[in-house]
Structure 1
Amino acid sequence: MRKTVFFASLALAAFAFAASPAQAGSAVCKERTEIIKILANKFSETQRSFGLQGDRRVLELYASPNGSWTAILTMPGGKACVVASGEAWTQLPPGPVGEPA
């Protein structure tokens, strides 16, 4: 519950940030390394996946063994912002490879 409250305010600011990167500011973003330390130390979350956006931003997903998860958006300069978080993260097994029978 504390995690939800902690990240809820950051997430709201992050949506404004995502809509207008030029107006983002130090108020909503921290250095990526600082956010990662918080996720690891307070929530036992580690990086599970990531994807590159066309404008060189990286969307990263962190999750813990107990199911908490956090998505952060990292900028080319190293700043990052929490864009979403939640509970009950589930990792699906890989899908079949090759042509369907």
Structure 2
Amino acid sequence: MLRIPVLLLVLTAPAMATPIADIVCAPRDEMSQKLTRQFGETRIATGIRDMERILEVWTSERTGDWTLVMTYANGQSCIVAMGEDWSPAIPVSKDDPA
């Protein structure tokens, strides 16, 4: 819950602060470890964007926080979106008339 205000503070910091790429991007393994250890998130979905990019959804069951991560062919991963109150879609049965 605290990470969104902290990220917003970092994003709005003066230009002399650490570059944003240093904060929201990291090598794939480092990003995975940070999301798992620091935020208690688990990867729940992965999709291929194109030949150069893979999109991952990470969530925390405990807090409901979610993070969208884009991983590039060069091994770098970047957070592209994050939020709260993740709610997985409930699959609809093929027999459901709706």
User: Under a length normalisation based on structure 1, what TM-score does the superposition of the two structures give?
Assistant: 0.71
Question: Does structure 2 conserve the Cα–Cα contact (< 8 Å) formed by 1:7 and 1:82?
Answer: no
Higher helix share: 1
Higher strand share: 2
Q: Which residue matches 2:70?
A: 73
Question: Does structure 2 conserve the Cα–Cα contact (< 8 Å) formed by 1:7 and 1:84?
Answer: no
Rg comparison, structure with higher value? 2
Output one character per residue of 1:45-88: Cα deviation in whole Å (capped at 9) or x when no partner.
Answer: 00011111124300100000120110010001211100011110
Q: Which residue matches 1:90?
A: 87
Root-mean-square deviation over aligned CA pairs: 2.7
- Structure 2 unpaired stretches of 5+: 13-20
Q: Which runs of 4+ in 1 moved over 3 A?
A: 5-10, 98-101
